[in-house]
Amino acid sequence: MPSPAVVVGVDSSTQSTKAAFIDAATGEQLAVGRSPHVVTGEAGARESDPEIWWRALGEAVAAGLSASGLPARAVTGIAVAGQQHGLVVLDGTGRPLRTALLWNDTRSAPQAAALTEALGGPGAWTARTGSVPVAAITASKWQWLREKDPASAAAAAAVRLPHDFLTERLAGVAATDPGDASGSGWYSTATGAYDPVLLDLLGLDAALLPAVAPTGATRIGSLTAAAASALGLPPGIAVAAGTGDNMSAAVGLGLGGAGLLDHPALSLGTSGTVFAASRTRPGSTALSGFAAADGTYLPLACTLNCTLAVDKVASLLGLDREDATPGGEAVLLPYLDGERTPDLPTASGLLTGLRHDTTPHRLLGAAYEGAAVTVLRALDELSRACGLDPDAPEIAARPLRLIGGGARGRMWVETVRRLSGRPLVLPGSEELVALGAAALAASAAGGGDPVALSASWAERAPGRHIDPVERDTETWQRVTSVLDRASRPLLGG
């Protein structure tokens, strides 16, 4: 019996690499290989050696291929979806000059504020890029590098995002896509190209940047002999442009060009993100107006502290992450790494409302509630920025698609359900970032619309629908009141 045509979708995230081997015809997940990353830094610093990502990619592909039991010749294409915003600087041989600055490195917050002012304020940035600089955006990190490590900035022969770095290693071609490029801070979603005004402001030569492919599904080249040898895959297979992790998750969900916020997704991972597909270019300073991998748009809001922060609280309390109860009067804002939405890069965790009946289980529940309210408030901001009232019955009744590692946790699901009062959908496919990358690879290898392909795959794995419960407005109001009070002095209000 002949082997099915297989594509490999790679999810290179902050913490690990996953390589999903997917049947290109049915979307069946045949195997997933995994390999961890190493993240270093303290006091706001978060860095990784890009060479670790490349080694992890090889290990994950090898593990997945072995687990699948398939011959390597069955693989026809590969695409990488990577953590957004990271800054990778390379020398003339394609080797990293230093460790990469990751998206959750908050040291560049002063540079973000200075860049915002230098261009004329938030509105000027939104008009060009769709987004206002924060510490996470790559442009802020490049400016930080120019000021704090000028030798590396001056020596840079190439500037890449994490997924660009890996894609170039695969195909030997310097290429990115509009989706991931739109998170850099120097790509204009208005013109669909790098913005010369912003490059001049940043002192960044466009020749250092990769070419922008029309979509993440564009075939930008073929797997080189060297990469094929390193990965154990056939040389010459299709390499797609790939994209950022959030854009790839949208593809994996089959979202593309839908009506505004018809299909909101809430991703519970290291960070918490909310996004939706749109045909209309967003233009609000309250959100990130990213491009999508399919040529449409992906308005998005992101919080810095989500599952990792709650797991840290569980560890401090000596509890399993599921061993939690509602927080009662206790409020815990788990802003252990600062925060992105709201923009509080220097914030730390805050605990208040302790009583004699407060238990460790309630404290852990309060950490869940603080993180969940923060990300749900980001969803409300997204709705308002798109001209929708989040409290309108027709909006509040729309199901939330819950994805990411947290979506597999009982306490995360119940906390979001209780605090949102909305129906939830848990997609049938768990590795949505890798699945979206696989759809991009399948499109590059055989043609066709990757979003439509993912949607057809999803029909075979419809997922689980969870009915709503009455919204816990008391907890919501208690947490938001503390959040608002804590934010004012940090924001200078």
310: exposed, middle or buried (C-beta count within 10 Å: 0-12, 13-18, 19+)? buried
| Strands 265-268, 272-275: pairing kind | antiparallel
The catalytic residue among 245, 311, 337, 343 is 245
- Taking alpha carbons only, the member of 331, 354, 350, 325 closest to residue 415 is 325
For residue 78, the surrounding DSSP H or E stretch is: strand 75-82
271: exposed, middle or buried (C-beta count within 10 Å: 0-12, 13-18, 19+)? buried
- C-beta of residue 178 within 8 angstroms of C-beta of residue 186: no
319: exposed, middle or buried (C-beta count within 10 Å: 0-12, 13-18, 19+)? middle
- C-beta of residue 443 within 8 angstroms of C-beta of residue 452: no
DSSP for 258-270?
PSTTSS-EEEESS
245 is an active site residue: yes
Q: In a 3-state reduction of DSSP, which class is residue 94?
A: coil
- C-beta of residue 302 within 8 angstroms of C-beta of residue 290: no
Determine the Cα–Cα distance for residues 400 and 351; give it in Å rounded to an integer.
28
- C-beta of residue 131 within 8 angstroms of C-beta of residue 164: no
Retrieve residue 63's tokens: 């593990």
Determine the Cα–Cα distance for residues 158 and 161; give it in Å rounded to an integer.
10
Determine the Cα–Cα distance for residues 417 and 406; give it in Å rounded to an integer.
13
DSSP state of 322: T
Radius of gyration of the chain (CA): 21
Q: Residue 117: CB partners within 8 Å, gap ≥ 6?
A: none
Determine the Cα–Cα distance for residues 16 and 35; give it in Å rounded to an integer.
6
Q: What is the crossing angle of helices 122-129 and 109-119, to 10°? A: 90
Determine the Cα–Cα distance for residues 487 and 493; give it in Å rounded to an integer.
8
Q: Active-site residues: which are they?
A: 245
